[in-house]
């Protein structure tokens, strides 16, 4: 599908993902997500997830993976002349397309490793439901892939971190397959019986125990002494956390007489809700950042390089399984767990044994109803065949045992009162409604706020202030309101009227931008830009950011500090111009000099002043981008800078457009990458008096550099050049800038319009395509030689 990228779109299903500069078009990514949502829901239908969960999972993926999914899954399916209704049947039959899953599969597995590492670090990037969608998509692709895919990845855990010594598990620590419904559990029992050739009516003894939401740990004892403790890692190799594990009171250093000589005890490290709450109270009192939830905190605590930090955290350990054992002390799962208890380990008191699947499922629902009262977080119930000889016969599939399954809980829900609806204002002026709730515990987390997205969502839900509402929280994502409980609606409820003006002092009228279809968008925005105090701080962060002024030593944290200083503080920063007056203002109060403030010193203050002074001379495109005009990104800022060449010319044109000058509007519209959205944004920005005051004060402090005129007489003027592979003598941005100075157009994709490809080590598909199209290819050294002579 390489020919799709960099070419003009053909039809609704053909998306052009890249600009000529090689940057990804977010609009195309958003369209790809919408197309893929139905496809992927069909592919993972066996886990019974909602369309919103699928869409949310796709949105969490990197852009390059979304593009690969779109080109490998969506396009072949919609292009099929056979018009299959079932996407799974299509790829089973059309193996010429499923054969392409091999490369896609590898990329998805690589990203799964990234997700697992983040999870093991206590920083999950996806909710549990989103993760299940992604993992099951990988399993489905494995299933549909052609015979070319010989080696399936055992997706059982995170890759070991480089921070710890590696430990190879004597017996791999595999993950469990998941069940998402009662029917799934019944199917599991039937599969086990079929495999064992047992009659369908035959009893099957199964254990059931809560699935602790913690971090898996393996403890190896030799001659009854703890030798090492290791995390699961990638299932085969984990991380040595022995020193940290010894600080957990539930982990005995020695086992009593009678325990096997070699015994790998496995279980889960966790933190109770009460201990977690107390830890956060202590963190807050010390002025430190609080933690998100017990699971992440427990994982992060166990994987500290300093064992004293782990010791200070109240971690606990439930034992429930084993790896290598020299002499099995029992012949059933339940018997082994009882032995673990006898050896001094804590086991879960809710573990039970059942001969009937219906009783097993009833126990699951009993635990589900009482989970909020448990002192620890759980995310399901695990079932295992009790007879160890049957477990031996059942064995394993590629990534999990046949004799066990995890029955996951659905997204957590709770009922509470909607006390109020507040409006939050973002950097771009977007007004987002937030539900203020009577505090309610959902999944071990006290929820007081939930997102309502926009005015249309409030109308769709039909909720009113004072309603009893249902709230859902899946994993660590922001809670959402699902709707109100009709039978509990009282006569005292009040409708919420979405504001028509921003609540900032300017009271700017909110606008709804039109979609490409001409319909009004759902987001309401304040157009006050820098004049709106709610937007100003976020604008300042953009202004000092890497793509704009890139002031060394002045990042988000420093902007927060300077912005929040009291009004009488001479070093308060509220506008971009204040940044360039910082050194001057530092002289106004001897007692409040920057060098005397906490976090700064004489050297760091001097370096900051020098870094700010250096940026007073700024390239025109960085200045335009730094203004934070909506829809004017880095690429458009460069286009405007090239088109007008100087700040004076650009400002004159922008003011003319704001005053309704159609000639000036037409001239700007004639520039590449400038469309109606950019024109409207420029008109609004320069039509706001407060913005004009801000810009005037800023430019008085600066010396804007004119845009460098590209050579018109070079051999590369008007040519399209693509850079690929690892460039060793220059960055990709430097390479593009060099080409543009020679009058060339630097593109991010190869097409028939490409004139030259500069290929560094590791060049792949772009090099291959250039060779197929007969495009000239040179290396980096030759490029520098040519530039020197240009």
What percent of the chain is predicted at pLDDT more than 90? Answer: 37
Q: What is the pLDDT of residue 519?
A: 57
What lies within 8 Å, CB to CB, of 284 at 6+ separation is 290
Q: What is the pLDDT of residue 739?
A: 83
175-189, 191-205, 300-314, 552-566: range with lowest mean pLDDT? 300-314
Over the stretch 200-253, which tens digit does the pLDDT of each residue have? 889 999 999 999 988 999 999 999 999 999 998 878 888 888 988 999 999 999
Annotated binding residue 129: yes
Q: Mapping DSSP to helix (H, G, I), strand (E, B) and coil, where does residue 612 land?
A: helix
| Dihedral angle of Cα 430, 542, 644, 635, to the nearest 10 degrees | -80
588 as an active site residue: the answer is: no
Reported as a pLDDT band with limits 50, 70 and 90, residue 8 is very low
Q: What is the pLDDT of residue 120?
A: 64
Annotated binding residue 502: yes
Give 70's DSSP letter.
I
- Report DSSP letters for 423-447, one per residue: EEE-TT-BEEEEEEEEEEEETTEEE
Q: CA angle 428-432-436, nearest 5°?
A: 145
Annotated binding residue 398: no
Reported as a pLDDT band with limits 50, 70 and 90, residue 182 is very high
Over the stretch 316-358, which tens digit does the pLDDT of each residue have? 999 999 999 999 999 999 999 999 999 999 999 999 999 999 9
Annotated binding residue 59: no
Q: What is the pTM of this model?
A: 0.48
Structural domains in the chain, sorted by start: 2-144 (no CATH), 178-408 (3.30.470.30), 412-488 (2.40.50.140), 530-705 (1.10.150.20), 720-789 (3.40.50.10190)
Over the stretch 750-774, which tens digit does the pLDDT of each residue have? 888 889 999 887 777 888 888 889 9
* Catalytic residue (choose from 26, 31, 163, 211): 211
State how far the Cα of 670 lies from the Cα of 667, in Å rounded to an integer.
5
Q: What is the pLDDT of residue 3?
A: 32
Q: Is 163 a residue whose pLDDT tops 70? A: no
Q: Is 158 a residue whose pLDDT tops 80? A: no
Strand 745-747, strand 720-724: pairing? parallel
Tokens 């052009």 belong to residue: 16
Distances, alpha carbon 470 to alpha carbons 52, 144, 464, 479, 715, in Å: 17, 39, 13, 10, 67
Greater model confidence, 93 or 257: 257
391: left (phi over 0), alpha (psi -120 to 50) or beta: alpha
Annotated binding residue 128: yes
Cβ pair 287, 308 in contact under 8 A:
no
Annotated binding residue 384: yes
Annotated binding residue 667: no
Q: Which of 327, 303, 328, 325 is nearest to 313 (CA)?
A: 303
Annotated binding residue 594: no
Q: What phi, psi does 720 have (nearest 5°)? A: -110, 120
Residues in the chain: 790
Annotated binding residue 364: no
Q: What is the pLDDT of residue 572?
A: 94
What lies within 8 Å, CB to CB, of 454 at 6+ separation is 432, 433, 522, 523, 524
Q: What is the pLDDT of residue 712?
A: 66
Termini Cα distance of the chain = 35
Distances, alpha carbon 471 to alpha carbons 332, 363, 422, 424, in Å: 41, 25, 17, 20
CA R_g for the chain: 31
Q: What is the pLDDT of residue 476?
A: 43
Cβ pair 148, 158 in contact under 8 A:
no
Q: What is the pLDDT of residue 443?
A: 56
Sign of CA dihedral 424, 430, 431, 437: negative
State how far the Cα of 428 lies from the Cα of 426, in Å rounded to an integer.
6
Reported as a pLDDT band with limits 50, 70 and 90, residue 20 is low
């Amino acid at each position: 599908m390489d020919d799709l990228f960099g070419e003009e779109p053909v039809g609704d299903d053909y998306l052009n993902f890249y600009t000529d500069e090689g940057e990804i078009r977010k609009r195309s990514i958003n369209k790809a997500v919408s197309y893929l949502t139905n496809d992927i829901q069909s592919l993972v239908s066996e886990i019974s997830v909602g369309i919103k969960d699928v869409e949310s999972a796709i949105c969490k993926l990197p852009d390059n993976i979304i593009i690969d999914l779109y080109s490998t899954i969506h396009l072949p399916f919609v292009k099929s002349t056979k018009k299959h209704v079932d996407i799974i049947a299509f790829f089973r039959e059309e193996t010429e397309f499923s054969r392409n899953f091999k490369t896609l599969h590898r990329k998805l597995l690589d990203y799964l490793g990234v997700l697992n590492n983040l999870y093991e670090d206590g920083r999950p990037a996806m909710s549990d439901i989103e993760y299940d969608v992604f993992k099951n998509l990988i399993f489905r692709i494995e299933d549909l892939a052609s015979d070319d895919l010989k080696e399936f990845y055992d997706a059982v855990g995170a890759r070991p971190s480089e921070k710890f010594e590696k430990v190879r598990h004597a017996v791999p620590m595999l993950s469990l397959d998941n069940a998402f419904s009662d029917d799934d559990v019944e199917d599991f029992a039937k599969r086990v019986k079929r495999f064992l050739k047992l009659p369908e009516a035959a009893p099957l003894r199964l254990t059931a125990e809560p699935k602790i939401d913690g971090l898996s740990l393996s403890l190896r004892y030799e001659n009854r002494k703890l030798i090492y403790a290791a995390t699961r890692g990638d299932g085969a190799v984990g991380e040595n956390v022995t020193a940290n594990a010894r600080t957990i009171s539930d982990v005995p250093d020695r086992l009593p007489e009678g325990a096997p000589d070699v015994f790998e005890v496995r279980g889960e490290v966790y933190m109770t809700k009460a201990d977690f709450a107390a830890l956060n109270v202590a963190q807050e009192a010390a002025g430190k950042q609080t933690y998100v939830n017990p699971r992440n905190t427990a994982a992060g605590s166990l994987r500290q390089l300093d064992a004293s930090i782990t010791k200070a955290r109240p971690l606990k350990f439930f034992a429930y399984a084993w790896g290598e054992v020299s002499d099995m002390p029992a012949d059933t799962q339940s018997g082994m767990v009882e032995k673990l208890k006898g050896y001094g380990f804590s086991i879960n008191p809710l573990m039970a044994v059942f001969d009937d699947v219906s009783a097993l499922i009833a126990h699951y629902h009993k635990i589900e109803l009482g989970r909020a009262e448990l002192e620890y977080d759980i995310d399901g119930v695990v079932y295992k065949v009790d007879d160890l000889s049957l477990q031996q016969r059942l064995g394993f599939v590629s990534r999990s045992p046949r004799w066990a399954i995890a029955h996951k809980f659905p997204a957590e829900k709770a009922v509470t009162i909607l006390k109020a609806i507040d409006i939050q204002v973002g950097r771009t002026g977007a007004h987002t409604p937030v539900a203020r709730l009577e505090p309610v515990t959902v999944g071990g987390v006290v929820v007081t706020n939930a997102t309502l997205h926009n005015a249309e969502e409030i109308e769709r839900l039909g909720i009113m202030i004072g309603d009893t509402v249902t709230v859902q929280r899946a994993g660590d994502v922001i809670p959402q309101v699902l709707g109100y409980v009709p039978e509990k609606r009282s006569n005292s409820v009040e409708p919420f009227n979405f504001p028509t003006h921003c609540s900032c002092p300017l009271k700017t009228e909110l606008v709804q931008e039109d979609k490409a279809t001409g319909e009004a968008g759902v987001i309401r925005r304040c157009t006050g830009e820098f004049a709106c105090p709610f937007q100003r701080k976020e604008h300042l962060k953009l202004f000092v950011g890497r793509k704009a002024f890139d002031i060394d030593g002045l990042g988000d944290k420093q902007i927060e500090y300077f912005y929040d200083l009291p009004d009488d503080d001479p070093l308060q920063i509220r506008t971009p111009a204040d940044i360039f007056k910082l050194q001057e203002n530092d002289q106004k109060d001897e007692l409040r000099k920057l060098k005397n403030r906490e976090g700064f010193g004489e050297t760091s203050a001097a370096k900051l002043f020098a870094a700010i002074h250096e940026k007073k001379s700024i390239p025109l495109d960085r200045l335009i981008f730094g203004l934070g005009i909506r829809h004017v990104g880095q690429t458009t800022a460069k286009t405007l800078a090239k088109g007008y060449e100087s700040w004076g010319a650009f400002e004159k044109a922008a003011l003319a457009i704001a005053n309704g000058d159609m000639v000036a509007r037409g001239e700007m519209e004639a520039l590449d990458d400038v469309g109606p959205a950019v024109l409207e944004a420029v008109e609004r920005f320069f039509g706001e008096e407060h913005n004009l005051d801000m810009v005037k004060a800023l430019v008085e402090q600066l010396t804007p550099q004119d845009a460098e005129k590209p050579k018109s007489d070079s051999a590369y003027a008007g040519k399209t050049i693509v850079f690929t592979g690892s460039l060793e003598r220059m960055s990709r941005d430097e390479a593009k800038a060099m080409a543009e100075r020679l009058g060339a157009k630097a593109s991010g994709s190869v097409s028939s319009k490409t004139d030259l490809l500069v290929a560094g080590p590791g060049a792949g598909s772009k090099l291959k395509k250039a060779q197929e199209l007969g495009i000239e290819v040179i290396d980096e050294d030759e490029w520098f030689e040519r530039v020197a002579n240009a």
